[in-house]
Amino acid sequence: MMAVAGLQGDGFRREHPVRQLAVADASGYDQVKCHLANNEPLLLKGAAWGLLGGDLADRGLARVAGHLRVDVETSRTDRFGHEEPGWRATSMGFAAFLRTYRARRRQRIYAVTPLPGPLAEACTLPTWMPGRCLDSIEQVMLWLDAGGQISLVHNDHRDNFLCVFAGKKQVALIDGVHGNALYERRSLRDKVSPVDIDNPDVEQFPDFRRVPMLRADVMARDVLYIPVCWFHQVHSVGRNLAINIWFDYHDIHTRLGGTGGAGLASAEVLQRLLSAPAPAPTRRRTHPIRLVDLPGFAR
């Protein structure tokens, strides 16, 4: 895992921008592969261009997928996550969601759902994405909200390509090796930090003062690589449409004996696994591939 060195004179952490790479088709392939192998975040500028086709305005989404039901989250505040008071998960018709999600009301609503089949049909994965990513894709999710939503500080058990198509996402990232200084709470689902990273209570969480942090502004058509086990918080700005592609580049699930292993494993165990050589060589593709052409993709 990557460590970000350097502290300010007052002993507080420094914040650094995530490294950026302008990707024109396969030109950045080797650098993408290097960041994947080293478990280091990377912001790929313009890399989502052409990934998701069709009319992505609300009217266009309703036309192709409005008849389907989607998973949604609701919250009484702008913060979303399973540990937030007033948060709950439910489902509703996509057309009904699209008619109401921008309305100002007491309860905020956010679509977080497996990518609907009609949209997946138009999803073409670019050639900068190494073959091992394709081989290990586990789930592709659609995220749609009116803006203002803020996630819990958490990490996931899988690698993540966060692809933004409308609006902006402001993402803070912290290497999972600092889990103890984030006062992480482990579960089979994920690891969550109770620290408010923008306004930390350093008396309650004194170790957080020395935690280094990366930040990225992910604009429309950008892709952010969020490595497995990196803590992150996502703030959506403006009408926000994104997909994320979850995959297991380092084969963590198999090596830890199931999907819950990464949530319960210590930072030391995960660092040891991620420092080991990748399980197999990564092949390079020369042509894009449709998402629905991948073996086992469930629409």
User: What ranges do the domains of the chain cover?
Assistant: 15-293
CB count, 10 Å around CB of 165?
18
- Rounded CA-CA distance 274/1 in Å is 7
DSSP alpha helix (H) spans, 121-167 = 131-135
pTM, whole model, 2 decimals?
0.88
CATH 3.40.50.300: does it fit domain 15-293? no
- Rounded CA-CA distance 192/233 in Å is 10
- Tens place of pLDDT per residue across the chain (299 aa): 333 333 344 445 578 999 999 876 546 788 888 898 889 999 999 999 888 888 999 999 999 999 999 999 888 777 666 666 677 889 999 999 999 998 866 678 899 999 999 999 889 988 888 888 888 898 899 999 998 888 889 888 889 999 999 999 999 999 988 888 998 887 655 688 889 998 889 899 999 988 999 999 999 999 999 998 899 999 999 999 999 999 988 887 777 765 555 555 666 666 677 776 666 656 777 777 888 887 656 54
